[in-house]
Amino acid sequence: MSDPTQLPDGAGLAGRIAIVAAPTDLAAEAMARLVAQYGNSTLDHARVVVALGGDGLMLETQHRLLGRNLPVYGMNCGSVGFLMNDFRDESLPDRLALAQAATLHPLRMRAYVGTGDPVEALAINEVSLLRETRQAAKIRILIDGKKRLDELICDGVLVATPAGSTAYNLSAHGPIVPLGANLLPLTPISAFRPRRWRGALLPAEARVVFEVLEHDKRPVAAVADYTEVRDVRRVEVWEDREVALTMLFDPDHGLSERIIAEQFTV
């Protein structure tokens, strides 16, 4: 069986490119230019999706395509655009055919609230636990069933994917992780006790469990990208290797190179 992420040459992509855009004037103008030149396939018929916007649109598009693993080639019509390529409207099919693929696996969150059924969601960037009130959260951390931190007093804590390690994780002073490292950063958010704990790097196959202590007094919300679950008691997080996502990058500016370069940005 052929690899669905292996694209044909530029001519073979004619009529098989789906274009989506963020709801901004800049993205809408860029989409109009591309559609006029290359048309706009339906997602059911497409071999590749071109996303015009910023990193938020890339995540939104990947969530929309979960389970289909259509490759997504982003072009920056937003602000940061870490996951996007530069926008150019010329020779798009040839750029797509030459693009390099990066395969990612999202995190799966299973959040428990009271005695009801758990809520599950996938995160391409990170799963974060955040305090809901003025009082700091108290969270116990277990890794693969072994208690590693009995009580973390903090504003929150997160587990990030390598691709997401440059997003909220980086803002919380977590480490940037190269794609091939098979590691997941576990990063506290404004830790109060233990004050010197800066987080950990976990093997990609690790299963992380957060237990919320004093949950009635110190409620905590769990967030997996766009899915928020409030008043959680226990949250399990692991990398879901059964779900694959493909992003496409120009050969001279792949995602691995961006992650390395970001660590030398001052």
Q: Which among 56, 54, 50 has a CA at the least distance from the CA of 91?
A: 50
- Across-strand partners of 157? 129, 188
For residue 78, what pLDDT is reported? Answer: 79
Coil, strand or helix: which one is 80? coil
Q: Which residues of the chain are under the pLDDT cut of 70?
A: 1-11, 254-255, 266
Binding residue numbers for NAD(+): 55-56, 125-126, 155, 163, 166-171
For residue 1, what pLDDT is reported? Answer: 35
For residue 51, what pLDDT is reported? Answer: 96
Coil, strand or helix: which one is 13? helix
Q: Are 170 and 141 in contact (CB under 8 A)?
A: no
Q: Is 11 exposed, middle or buried (0-12, 13-18, 19+ CB in 10 A)?
A: exposed
For residue 172, what pLDDT is reported? Answer: 94
Q: Which among 87, 35, 36 has a CA at the least distance from the CA of 57?
A: 87
For residue 42, what pLDDT is reported? Answer: 93
Q: Is 166 exposed, middle or buried (0-12, 13-18, 19+ CB in 10 A)?
A: buried
For residue 180, what pLDDT is reported? Answer: 76
For residue 11, what pLDDT is reported? Answer: 58
Tokens coding 228: 């928020």
Tokens coding 266: 């001052």
Which domains does the chain show, CATH number per domain? 10-105+244-262 (3.40.50.10330), 107-239 (2.60.200.30)
Please state, in angstroms and rounded to a whole number, the distance separating the CA atoms of residues 103 and 105.
7
- Between CA 145 and CA 151, with CA 148 as vertex, the angle to 5 degrees is 115
Catalytic residues: 55
For residue 137, what pLDDT is reported? Answer: 98
Helix%, strand%, coil% for the chain, nearest 5: 20, 35, 40
For residue 7, what pLDDT is reported? Answer: 63
Q: Could you report the per-residue pLDDT of 97-153, keeping only the tens digit for each?
A: 999 998 899 999 999 998 778 999 999 999 999 999 999 999 999 999 999 999 999
